[in-house]
Amino acid sequence: MRRLCVAATLVAVAALAPLPTTTPPTGAAAAAPAPLAERASDACGDLVPKAGGGTWECTFVDDFEGARLNRRKWIVQDTARTGFKTGSTCYTPDQENVAVRGGALRLTARKGEMFRCGNLLRTFTTRYTGGMVGTKGKFSQTYGRFEVRAKWPTARTSGIHGGFWMNPVEKTYGRWPESGEIDIAEWWSSRPRLALPSLHYDGRHKDVDSGWRCRIQKPSRFHTYTLVWQKRVMRFSIDGKQCFARRWVPEPPQQAPQPFDHPFSMILNMGVGRKVGRQKVTPETEFPARYVVDYAKAWK
């Protein structure tokens, strides 16, 4: 109220004062354009404010438009060529496992006949195929903001496993887990409401390095899963609400921020678990199981 009174007084005084004589501007002053409105969006969409001020700058975005995966942004895992697998999953580049359709990426775990999967150095027998894509060699970053909008399969019995995670581009500090791994949202069909963020490194303790409170009510609907990776802390959110934060403490001789101080790439995958254990794939596991990703983005 006091401010309103002061403002009214200033207006009244201005009305009583004689108007100054003005001269139209000439030269450079006349040619100068009016200030432009502040930018409201970038390639990632609406600008996202930083907690400490300013806004995040878009460094990577894929809205999965069109009918094909953008191979300038992603590589597709092919176990028959690389030998890499998770659980009992043979990852393939086939359209049945990796497809872009309806403005979304669709990664599908499937069950079929028994076959041998792998390369000359590593092979195994399985009946399960899955889809995995990553940005290694295409995009990587140290620190920043990383996000996907995605929905999980409808499976509710054990066996389906996938998620949104990050791996180091180089084994700077040695083999896994010494160079680190960041799971932004890891998902199992046996615990469908849990979208688990975790840090893997030398010195990890599962009780404090995983976000067991990161849960969702309706996992087969779209939600946003976000990581803000800073030099000393990582913060994980679901639908804009923080559910886990961690300041990691590595085993000597490493010291924080090691091993999370070098470039990581993004990975999305959908596959199956192992043949044994709590997350094992069984005859009751529901197939096909599809992980649908609306977009993937990163900022710095």
Tell me whether residue 144 is in a domain: yes
State the residue range of the domain holding 138: 74-299
Q: Are 47 and 56 in contact (CB under 8 A)?
A: yes
Tell me whether residue 15 is in a domain: no
Q: With the C-alpha atoms ordered 192, 194, 197, 198, is the resulting torsion angle positive or negative? A: negative
Assign 298 a pLDDT band (cuts: 50, 70, 90). very high
Tell me whether residue 189 is in a domain: yes
Q: Are 140 and 174 in contact (CB under 8 A)?
A: no
Mean pLDDT of 201-212: 97
pLDDT, tens only, 109-132: 999 999 999 888 889 999 999 999
* pLDDT at residue 22 is higher than 50: no
Domain count, the chain: 1
Torsion angle of C-alpha atoms 112, 116, 119, 123, degrees rounded to 10:
110
Tell me whether residue 57 is in a domain: no
Helices assigned H by DSSP within 63-211 = 79-82
Tell me whether residue 37 is in a domain: no
Tell me whether residue 66 is in a domain: no
* pLDDT at residue 9 is higher than 70: no
**What is the gyration radius of the CA atoms in the chain, in angstroms?**
25
Tell me whether residue 138 is in a domain: yes
Tell me whether residue 41 is in a domain: no
What CATH number should be reported for the domain holding residue 208? Answer: 2.60.120.200
User: Distance between CA atoms of 217 and 33, rounded to whole angstroms?
Assistant: 52
SS3 of 288, please?
coil
Q: Which two tokens stand for residue 107?
A: 């990664």
**Mean pLDDT of all residues belonging to the chain:** 89
